[in-house]
C-alpha cells in the first residue's frame, strides 16, 4: 500500500450558529500534510487551543467524510449526504454520542504544478435528539513548494 504525503498550508474557516446564542466565526492558518492512501485523501494538522494540542485528520469526499480529533479534544465526526451519522465526543465524564445531519458536502482539488483543494461541509449537530447548532467548515489547502 503506497502512501504519498505532501506538505500544505491550510486555511480553515469555521462558522457556528448555536441554537441559543450568537454566531461565531473562526479563521486559522495552519501547517499540515495532505496524505493519499488506498485511494482516499486525508488532511492532517495540529491546532493549539488554549494549552491543548489537538491533532486533526480529515478524510475528504463528496458523499462521505470524517473528522477525527485527538489530543486535547477527542471527537469523531462522520458526515454522509444520504443519512444521519452517529459520532462521539469524549468529555471528562465519558464518551457522548453525537449525530451529524449533513446539509452540504463537497471536495474539489487540482493536481497540476501545485496541489490545491477545498473541502466544505455544512451540518446540524444533534445531542440527545436536540439540535445544538448549525455548523459550516471550509478548509482550503495549497501545496508548499520546495
Q: What is residue 48's predicted lDDT score, i.e. its pLDDT?
A: 86
Rounded to the nearest 5 degrees, what angle is found at the Cα of 123, between the Cα atoms of 89 and 66?
55
Q: What is residue 1's predicted lDDT score, i.e. its pLDDT?
A: 60
Q: What is residue 108's predicted lDDT score, i.e. its pLDDT?
A: 95
What percentage of the chain reaches a pLDDT higher than 90? 79
Residue-wise pLDDT tens digits, 21-47? 899 999 999 999 999 998 899 999 999
Model confidence at 58, pLDDT cuts 50, 70, 90, reads very high
Q: What is residue 72's predicted lDDT score, i.e. its pLDDT?
A: 86
What does the radius of gyration of the chain's CA atoms come to, in whole angstroms? 15
CATH for 11: 2.40.128.20
Q: What is residue 122's predicted lDDT score, i.e. its pLDDT?
A: 98
Scan for cell 500500500, then name that residue: 1
* C-alpha pair distances (Å), 16 with each of 9, 21, 104: 23, 10, 15
* C-alpha pair distances (Å), 49 with each of 12, 71, 84, 113: 14, 11, 28, 34
CB-based contact 13:21 (threshold 8 Å): no
What percentage of the chain reaches a pLDDT higher than 70? 99
Residue-wise pLDDT tens digits, 97-141? 999 999 999 999 998 888 999 999 999 999 988 999 999 999 999
The domain total for the chain is 1
pTM: 0.92
Assess whether pLDDT exceeds 80 at residue 51: yes
DSSP output for 12-28 = EEEEEEETTS--EEEEE
> Which residues are CB-contacts of 129 (< 8 A; sequence separation ≥ 6)?
none
Residue 125 structural domain: 3-143
pLDDT top residue among 12 and 93 = 12
Whole-angstrom distance, CA of residue 127 vs CA of residue 17 = 15
Amino acid at each position: 500500500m503506497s502512501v504519498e504525503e505532501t506538505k500544505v498550508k491550510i486555511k480553515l474557516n469555521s462558522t457556528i450558529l448555536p441554537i441559543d446564542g450568537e454566531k461565531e466565526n473562526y479563521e486559522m492558518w495552519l501547517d499540515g500534510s495532505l496524505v493519499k492512501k488506498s485511494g482516499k485523501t486525508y488532511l492532517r494538522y495540529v491546532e493549539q487551543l488554549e494549552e491543548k494540542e489537538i491533532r486533526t485528520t480529515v478524510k475528504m469526499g463528496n458523499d462521505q467524510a470524517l473528522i477525527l480529533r485527538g489530543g486535547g479534544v477527542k471527537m469523531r465526526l462522520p458526515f454522509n449526504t444520504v443519512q444521519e451519522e452517529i459520532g462521539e465526543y469524549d468529555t471528562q465524564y465519558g464518551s457522548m454520542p453525537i449525530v451529524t445531519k449533513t446539509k452540504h458536502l463537497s471536495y474539489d482539488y487540482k493536481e497540476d504544478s501545485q496541489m490545491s483543494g477545498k473541502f466544505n461541509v455544512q451540518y446540524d449537530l444533534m445531542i440527545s435528539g436536540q439540535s445544538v447548532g448549525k455548523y459550516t467548515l471550509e478548509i482550503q489547502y495549497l501545496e508548499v513548494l520546495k
